Amino acid sequence: MRHLVLFDIDGTILRTGGAGLDAMRAALVDTFGTSGDPEYRYDGRTDPQIARELMRGAGVDDETITARMPMLLRRYTDGLVARLAEPQRHVSMYPGVAALIDAVDAHPDMMLGLLTGNVDRGARLKLGAVGLDFDRFRVNAFGSDSEVRAQLPAIAHARMREVTGIDLAGSDVVVIGDTPADIACGRDLGARAIAVATGRYSVKELAAHAPYAVFEDLGDTDAVMAAIEGRVGAESTQPVER
Place 238 in a pLDDT band, splitting at 50, 70 and 90.
Answer: very low
Is residue 237 pLDDT above 60, yes or no? no
**Region 169-192 average pLDDT:** 96
- Cβ atoms 199, 180 nearer than 8 A: no
First-to-last C-alpha distance (Å) of the chain: 36
Is residue 192 pLDDT above 70, yes or no? yes
pTM for the full predicted model? 0.94
- Cβ atoms 98, 133 nearer than 8 A: no
Residue type, 82: A
Q: How far apart are CA 27 and CA 205, in angstroms?
A: 32
Residues 6+ apart with CB under 8 A from 123: 9, 114, 116, 134, 140, 142
**Confidence (pLDDT) at 221:** 97
Percent of the chain with pLDDT over 90: 95
Domains of the chain are: 3-16+93-237 (3.40.50.1000), 19-88 (1.10.150.240)
Place 236 in a pLDDT band, splitting at 50, 70 and 90.
Answer: very low
**Region 81-93 average pLDDT:** 95
The distance of Cα 32 from the centroid of its chain, to the nearest Å, equals 26
**Confidence (pLDDT) at 233:** 56
Could you report the per-residue pLDDT of 42-64, keeping only the tens digit for each?
999 999 999 999 999 999 999 99
Place 208 in a pLDDT band, splitting at 50, 70 and 90.
Answer: very high
